[in-house]
Amino acid sequence: MGEIPEDEMDIWLEADPAEDPTDDTYPHVYEQSLDRIAIALGGKAVLPPAFQYIPGMLVGHDWRVRHAGLMAIASIAEGTNKLMQKELGKVVDVHAHAAAALINFCEGVERDILLPYLDPIVERLLKLLNPGTAGKTPKRYVQEQAITTLAMVADASEATFAKVIPQAS
């Protein structure tokens, strides 16, 4: 659903989806297929595999992939609405998205710009990894995102990262 051909990009961006109900482009066909699968199989069958991919799509670098993630949620919503409410929290959790936003920041930032913020960033990411912080256990997907973000921060800060992480005794 995130693969919109470059030569059709301008047409797709300008199109009104309500205008052509017989739209047979790949993204539209995939959306219809997801909708039909969700209605036919229900939430128990569709949500687990869908939410293995959708959270990652929503924080992707390519806007087309983020759009496809949102459209996937919309497409499966009708057939999975009862169970969707439980899973949707994964998509809108502030901690996971904040950590994912840091990845985008670290990718394009110069090392010297990152260094003044390195200590508080690492400190907060480590808190997301620590079970029992603030009286509640962080969700696994938040911890996974924190690990991924720590890796990106380490890469962006280069050798300075080793100085920030407390050494095990």
**For position 90, what pLDDT does the model report?**
59
* Residue 15, both tokens: 């199109």
Split at pLDDT 50, 70, 90, the class of 75 is: confident
Split at pLDDT 50, 70, 90, the class of 168 is: very low
pLDDT 10s digits, 92-135: 567 766 677 677 677 767 788 878 888 888 888 888 887 665 56
Report the C-alpha gap between 82 and 164 in whole angstroms.
45
**For position 123, what pLDDT does the model report?**
85
pLDDT 10s digits, 63-74: 788 888 878 888
pLDDT 10s digits, 9-62: 677 666 665 565 555 667 778 888 888 999 999 889 998 898 888 888 887 778
Sign (positive or negative) of CA dihedral 69, 75, 76, 82: positive
Q: Is the pTM of this model over 0.85?
A: no
Annotate the chain with DSSP letters as a single string: -----GGGHHHHHH--TTT-TT--SHHHHHHHHHHHHHHHH-HHHHHHHHHHHHHHHHT-SSHHHHHHHHHHHHHHHHHHHHHHHHHHHHHH-HHHHHHHHHHHHHHH--HHHHGGGHHHHHHHHHHHHSTTGGGSPPPHHHHHHHHHHHHHHHHHHTTHHHHHSPPP-
Of 56, 71, 53, which Cα lies nearest the Cα of 1? 71
**For position 120, what pLDDT does the model report?**
84
Place of tokens 């200590």: 119
* Residue 135, both tokens: 């009286």
Q: Which residues of 127-139 are buried (b: 16+ CB within 10 A; e: fewer)?
A: ebeeeeeeeeebe
